[in-house]
Amino acid sequence: MAGTILITGSSSGIGKATANLFHEKGWNVVATMRTPEKEQELTALDNVLVTRLDVLDQESIEQAVGAGIEKFSKIDVLLNNAGYGAYGPLEAFPIEKIRRQFDTNVIGLLAVTKAVLPHFRANKSGTIVNISSIGGKITFPLGTLYHGTKFAVEGLSEALHYELEAIGVKMKIVEPGAIATDFGGRSFDFTNDESMPEYQDTVQKLMKTFGEVMGDAASPSSVVAEVIWTAVTDGTKTLRYTAGDDAQEFMASRQALDDETFIGGLKTQLGL
Are 126 and 170 spatial neighbours (Cβ–Cβ below 8 Å)? yes
Between CA 138 and CA 160 the distance in angstroms is 21
Q: Is 132 a catalytic residue?
A: yes
CA distance 76 to 69: 10
Mean pLDDT value across the chain = 93
Q: What is the pTM of this model?
A: 0.94
Helix axis angle, 259-270 relative to 245-256, nearest 10°? 130
Q: How confident is the model at residue 185 (pLDDT cuts 50, 70, 90)?
A: low
The pLDDT confidence band at residue 208, using thresholds 50, 70 and 90, is confident
- The predicted-structure confidence for 40-77, as pLDDT tens digits, reads as follows 999 999 999 999 999 999 999 999 999 999 999 999 99
Q: Catalytic one among 87, 146, 199, 241? A: 146
**247: Cβ contacts below 8 Å, ≥ 6 apart:** 134, 175, 176, 177
Q: What's the pLDDT score for residue 217? A: 63
- Given the residues 16, 137, 150, 170, select the one marked as catalytic: 150
Q: What angle do CA 181, 183, 188 make, to 5 degrees?
A: 165
Instruction: Give residue 215's pLDDT band: very low, low, confident or very high (50, 70, 90).
Output: low
Check residue 244 and give its pLDDT.
87
Tell me if residue 96 falls in helix, strand or coil. Answer: helix
In the chain, domain spans: 4-270
Residue 11 catalytic?
no
User: Mind listing the pLDDT tens digit for each residue in 24-49?
Assistant: 999 999 999 999 999 999 999 999 99
- Catalytic residue, chosen from 10, 132, 133, 157, is 132
Domain 4-270, CATH homologous superfamily name and number: NAD(P)-binding Rossmann-like Domain (3.40.50.720)
User: Residue 77 belongs to what H/E stretch?
Assistant: strand 77-80
Task: Specify whether 146 is catalytic.
Answer: yes
Nearest to 56 by CA among 76, 75, 83, 19: 83
CB 192 within 8 A of CB 88: yes
Using left for φ > 0, alpha for ψ between -120 and 50, and beta otherwise, residue 129 falls in beta
Q: Which residues contact 237 (CB under 8 A, 6 or more apart)?
A: 170
